[in-house]
Amino acid sequence: MRFGVVIFPGSNCEQDVVHAAHHLGFEAEYVFHRETDLAGFDALVLPGGFSYGDYIRCGAVARFSPVMSEVIRFAEAGGPVMGICNGFQILAEAHMLPGALLRNDTLKFICRDTTLRVEKSTCQWLDTAPGTVLHIPINHNEGNFICDHVTLSRMEDNDQIVLRYCEPDGSRAEGGSAPNGALEDIAGVCNERGNVFGLMPHPERVVDPATGGTDGQAFFTSIVGTLAKVAG
């Protein structure tokens, strides 16, 4: 299993994703934004950070990066792509995922642990049972997910909502459990096919138990299982 981890100028969580993959015994290598050859990678991760400084809308510049047309081709061929935080913002800007990420409704950057409920979805990146509550930190200024109601109901019909912010017992608070104001407490979504996945929380931060929990491990191991099934 070989992950490709894309580095845009301003990415800053790429080394954490590589560490997470290594910790779980997988291969992972960096892919610089000027690359146009993605041969040899089984799955791609767009990491967190501030691509190109994110001085205009987050991800708005990165989507035009040379590597992105290859990422789109990779995904169209069925290759799995996960965008974490800024990576999610880039995938949304590139229209590889529905919706958009607005500024947090608190108007503050937020770095804290969150509880997330796994929803029933077609996402190839997560095989954890629906209803499971995970502890994963968030770290962003623009994580306030939004989309129009047509898109929302299509996402619901197609099981594209992968993760929701929730209370520690798995319930959703009246008025919302999202720390950032996200519509319907949405923390992670996938495309219809389930191979492209974006989430605001940082699973790579809770893979190595020395510095966190282990709730993020499933986000790296599930896709390996999915690919094995496809290959088998």
- Contact status: 22 vs another protein (CB under 8 A): yes
- Contact status: 109 vs another protein (CB under 8 A): yes
CB 37, min distance to another protein, A: 17
Nearest residue (CB) to another protein, 50 versus 219: 50
CB 66, min distance to another protein, A: 13
Rg (CA), the chain: 16
Residue 114: φ, ψ to 5°: -130, 160
Query: Which bin fits 194, alpha (ψ -120 to 50), beta or left (φ > 0)?
Result: left
Helices (H), the chain: 14-23, 66-76, 86-93, 149-157, 218-231
**Which of 170, 176, 212, 213 is the binder for another protein (CB under 8 A)?**
212
**Which of 36, 171, 211, 214 is the binder for another protein (CB under 8 A)?**
211
Q: Is 204 a catalytic residue?
A: yes
Residue type, 28: A
- Contact status: 110 vs another protein (CB under 8 A): yes
- Contact status: 116 vs another protein (CB under 8 A): no
* Residues between 138 and 157 with contacts to another protein, criterion CB under 8 A: 139, 141
**CA–CA dist 103, 106 (Å, integer):** 8
91: which DSSP letter?
A: H
Which x/- pattern, by CB under 8 A, does the window 30-69 give for another protein? Answer: ------------------xxx-xxxx--------------
Give me the DSSP letters along 160-218: -EEEEE--TTS---TT---TT--GGGEEEEE-TTSSEEEESS-GGGGSSGGGS-STTTH
Residues of this chain that bind another protein (CB under 8 A): 9-10, 12-20, 22, 28, 48-50, 52-55, 108-112, 137, 139, 141, 202, 204-205, 207-208, 210-212
Catalytically active residues are 85, 202, 204
